[in-house]
Structures are given as structure tokens and as C-alpha cells.
Structure 1
Amino acid sequence: MANSSREIRRRIKATQNIAKITKAMELVAASKMRKAQAQALSSRSYAVLSSELLSALAAQSDYLKHPLIKRILPEDQKLPTQRILVVLITSDRGLAGALNTNVINKALNLLKLEGLGRFDLITVGKKAADAGRRLRLSVVAAFSGKDRNLSILDAKPIAEIAINDYLAFIYEKVFVVYTDFISTLRQTPNIIQVLPFTNHRSPLTDHDEILFEPNPDEVLEKFLYRAVEFTVFQAMVEAVASEHSARMVAMRNANEAAGDLIDDLFLTYNQARQAGITKELSEISAAKLAMEG
């Protein structure tokens, strides 16, 4: 009984220590989550405005002639074998439930659909880079992830690679695979096509009310490059908000599971202790009866 009780007490102590760690990690993740969610939600307002302006520009300019919308190959050039570029965004760290596994599987499904032999990968986050090495995928660039204080500058080098290689006819399409933040309890892996660039939101109706200077075509020329950058940035922001939300929930669940295990261990300990006391009392009673007899 003594050895059993000591083992149970040791397990209780170890589980209590784990619960302290998971509680601390839950609090840290909750703090980061609130900031990341605020950034994701605020950037969506800019995304809506950007989309409305693009709709207005499309109505007032030669929208389809822009190379990021539709490329025209020079007559003296032969079209090379077209490939697909996929930007895969994950976190650097784990302990976020099935978040990274789900988004990686989403990317793999896209690669199978488009053809595994004709794609390249840009990884953002250590988990994406690890998956690329483990699965022996063609990775052309790898960027470390950031879990706070994201800015458009973090998306700029990724967008530049995508735009330059797309305009050089290396890639036929460019996709971003990331985790879309829905709520604290729900995050969904998502795929968005970045190039050829398409307007993913509802168009503005009153196009004639907007006046562009010096003219719509010149504004469109600059604006589309920024729109691609912002699309990548928005995906990164959504992924960070999803990461901290998933980690906070995972740590909360782990902390609750540790609490349940501690309760079960205390119950087992008390039962073993009670059984030991009962056994000792029985032995004492038996010895007393034997002496009296």
C-alpha cells in the first residue's frame, strides 16, 4: 500500500506541475490572441475598401490589359512549361491542436489536384518548412513565421517573388494556403488565388462617383501590386490570429484535462489509503482476538 500511495502522490505532483505550465501558456496565448484578433478584424476593413476601389478602377480603366490580370506573351517567345506556386502559411510552434496539420493537408490536396509534378512551394513558418523537407517537396523560399506585430513589410518579399516569377512566365498560377480566422473556437484552412489577380469581394456599385488622379490606368498600375502584397499580408494576419486562438483553446483543454486527472488520482489515493487503514485495523483486531483466545 505504501509503495502504491507514494506512486500516486508522485503522479499527482507531476500532473499539478503540468497544469501550472498549461495554465501559464493559456494566459500567454490569450493575451496574444486578443491582439492578433484585433489586427485581423481591423485589416478586414481595409481589405473591403481595397476591393471596392479595385472594382471602381476596373470599371474606369483597361483592367484586363494589366499583366497581373492577364499576361500577353510576346510573339517571338515560346511559352515555357507552366508551373504552380503555392505559399503555405503555418506557425513556427506547435501546441495548437490540429491547426498546422489541417492547413498542410489542405495544401497537399491542392497540389494533388493541380498536379504534384508541376508546383513549387514558398513556406512561411517552421511547421511548413518541416513538412516541405519531410515530404521532399520543391521549396523555392522559406520564411520564418511571426506571431505578433505583423506589418505589410513582412509580406512584401513573398509578394515580390510571386509577382516577379509570375510576370517571367515561370508560374501559371499563384495560390496562398492559410488558416482563416472565424472565431476563437473555429479556424478553417483556406485557399485563395493571388495570381492571376481576381477581386474576391463584392464590387462597388457607384463607380462613377470616384475620381482617380492622374487617371484610372496609372492608379491601377500601382494599386494592383499593392493589392497582391495586401492579400498575402491579410492571409498572414488571419493565420496568426488562428494560431493563438487554437493554442489558447488547446492549453485550456489540456489544463482542464489535467484537473480531471488530478481529481481521479486523489480519489484513487484516498481509496487506497482507506483500504490500507481498513486492512491494518483488521490485522489489529485479528491479533487481539488471537491473544485473548
Structure 2
Amino acid sequence: MANLRAIRLRIRGVKNIAKITRAMEMIAASKMRRAQDRGLAGRPYREKITEVIAALSAVSGGEAGHPLLVNRPVKKIMVVHITPDRGLSGGLVGNINRATLAFIQEKKGTPVNFIVVGKKGLDVMRRTQREIAAEFVGMGDKPTLQETLPISRIVIDDFKSGAVDEVWVAYSQFVSTMVQKPVLEKLLPVEPAEIEPQHNVEYIYEPDAASVLGSLLPAYVEMKIFQLLLESIASEQSARMVAMRNATQNANELTEELTLEYNKARQESITGDLLDIVGGVAALA
């Protein structure tokens, strides 16, 4: 016969877990809305600045116009690896870590070092003994552009000095509340997009196109790293909300199963007691 006390304690424990996961779901939902707004608000600016850089690059002479546009033989790669500081976000952390490790395998033979943003990614890189150039943890849920500038400065300085020949960013792209996609996106050298004929506008640059490009490209790198970090945060909060919702549903289902088991065990205990009473009466008779 099942232990009624043990089942009662287990039901109580599962109900407490459901309360916690429900509260975490509500917190994540609140943070998710703000993170989505911040992450999506920067996309139009990112698209427009990419278009302007494409026009500037064409006017100023392409790779000769700025060192951040120079393509050279790839002898070393840098990856800016962006992950959450906390877990409880479903498969999001595992997906981005696996995507980055798969990328390293594809580049087998080429040394790779990392700028790690987020504790979960840092743990994996240390465990797999990867070369870490810099680490940034505790950025919080609402980082500012100023807080991400040290990352951009390391990226730009190492690329300009020739310490690395390519820079990639690994992050979780926000697609929808239910879908977050691990992405590795090339950051440097900047590859200007091709402008469609209907969007090809002749700009007048002061003092000249090369000077404007020189000041715009570092700002583009800074903005892009900041934007991708915001997208990663939006993905994290969305994944956490969904994970906590699923955990709450599973806890409620388990509570129902345990309650049914408890009722059956209790009924079995009552039936046994009744049979003992009836047997005792029969024996006395």
C-alpha cells in the first residue's frame, strides 16, 4: 500500500514548485515585452545604416576606404559569443553553445579566440579550454550602449592591428515568442550590402565620403554589437517565459496524477480497515 504521508508531501512540494514557476513566468513575460520593444526598435536603424555604408563604400573606393573593410587571408578568427547569465530558459543556451562549437569545427585548423558575454557561455568555453580574450558577465536585462562599448573597442582594435582577420558574433536571434534561432553573423570585415536600384540615392557628403565612412564604420560596429545583445536578451526572456509556462503545466498535471494516486491509496486503506472490522465482528459472532 502506498504511503499516504509521502504522497501528501510530494503533492505539496509539486504545488509549491508550480507557484514558483508561475511567478517566474509572469516576471519573464513582463521583461520579455520590454526586451522585445528594445530589440526590435533598433532594426530599422541597423538596416538604414547598412544601406548608407554600402553607398559610402562604393563612392570612397571600397576596401581602400577604411581598414574595417579590408579582406585579408584568415589566419585567426574572433567570435563574440553572447549567452544569458542565468539558466531556466529551455534549450536556448544549449542551442547557441552547440552552434558556436560546430562553427569552430567547420573552421578546423584556424585558431579561434573568444569575447564571451554571459556566464553560461563562459562556463562552456572554460570547460572546453578555449582561448578567451575577454569576458563580460552581469550585463543585466537592460544594458546601455555605453556598457557595450568596451566589447566594440576590443573588436575594432584587434581587427585593425591584425591580431584577428575575421570577427563573428554568435547570438540568439529573436524570431517570435516561441522561436529563437542560434545565429553566427560575420561582423568584420564589414561587407557592404548591395543596394537595390530603387533605393540607390546619390548623397552629398561633407567634407567627403571617405571621412564620413571613417567615422560611421566604428559607430556601425558599436551599434550592431549592442543591437545583437538586445536581440539575445529578448530571446532569453521569451525562452524563459515559455519554459516556465511548460514547467507550470507539467507540475499541474503531476499534481492531478498524484492526487488520483492519493485518493486510490486512501480508498484502499479505508477498504482494508472495513474488512478488518467486518472480519473481527464475524470472528466474535
Q: TM-score, normalised by structure 2?
A: 0.94
Q: Which residue of 2 aligns with 1:67?
A: 67
CA RMSD of aligned residues (A): 1.9
Q: Deviations over 1:185-232 (max 9, x none)?
A: 100100111111123586574433433222222111110111111121
Q: Which residue of 2 aligns with 1:151?
A: 144
Structure 2: tracts of 5 or more residues without a match: none
1:82-121 aligned within 5 A: 82-115=75-108, 118-121=111-114
| Matched letter for residue 69 of structure 1 | L
Aligned in 2, Cα 1:208/1:276: closer, same or farther, shift over 3 Å?
A: closer
What is the aligned residue count?
284
Q: Which residue of 1 aligns with 2:270?
A: 277
Q: Which residue of 1 aligns with 2:56?
A: 57
Structure 2 distance, partners of 1:288, 1:130, is 69
Give the C-alpha shift of residue 270 in structure 1.
Answer: 0.4
Q: Which residue of 1 aligns with 2:23?
A: 24
Q: Which residue of 2 aligns with 1:211?
A: 204
Structure 2 distance, partners of 1:244, 1:204, is 39
Aligned-partner SS, 2:141: coil
Give the C-alpha shift of residue 113 in structure 1.
Answer: 1.3
Structure 2 distance, partners of 1:291, 1:261, is 45
Structure 2 distance, partners of 1:176, 1:257, is 35
Q: TM-score, normalised by structure 1?
A: 0.91
Q: Deviations over 1:84-125 (max 9, x none)?
A: 111100010111111111111111111111126611111000
Structure 1 distance, partners of 2:194, 2:182, is 18
Give the C-alpha shift of residue 163 in structure 1.
Answer: 1.1
Q: Which residue of 2 aligns with 1:253?
A: 246
Moved over 6 A (4+): none
Q: Which residue of 1 aligns with 2:122?
A: 129
Q: Which residue of 2 aligns with 1:224?
A: 217
Aligned-partner SS, 1:190: strand
Give the C-alpha shift of residue 172 in structure 1.
Answer: 1.1
Question: Paired residue for 2:175, among 179, 182, 186?
Answer: 182
Aligned in 2, Cα 1:271/1:71: closer, same or farther, shift over 3 Å?
A: closer
Structure 2 distance, partners of 1:268, 1:233, is 52
Structure 2 distance, partners of 1:116, 1:131, is 20
Aligned-partner SS, 1:183: coil
Give the C-alpha shift of residue 150 in structure 1.
Answer: 2.3
Structure 2 distance, partners of 1:202, 1:152, is 28
Q: Deviations over 1:234-279 (max 9, x none)?
A: 2111110011111111111111111011101100000011111111
Structure 1 distance, partners of 2:255, 2:154, is 52
State percent identity of aligned pairs. 39
- Contact 1:55–1:207 under 8 Å retained in 2: no
- Contact 2:63–2:71 under 8 Å retained in 1: no
Q: Which residue of 2 aligns with 1:37?
A: 36
Aligned in 2, Cα 1:204/1:256: closer, same or farther, shift over 3 Å?
A: farther
My pick for the range that moved more, 197-206 or 157-166, is 197-206
Aligned in 2, Cα 1:202/1:146: closer, same or farther, shift over 3 Å?
A: farther
Aligned-partner SS, 1:19: helix
Structure 1: tracts of 5 or more residues without a match: 73-78
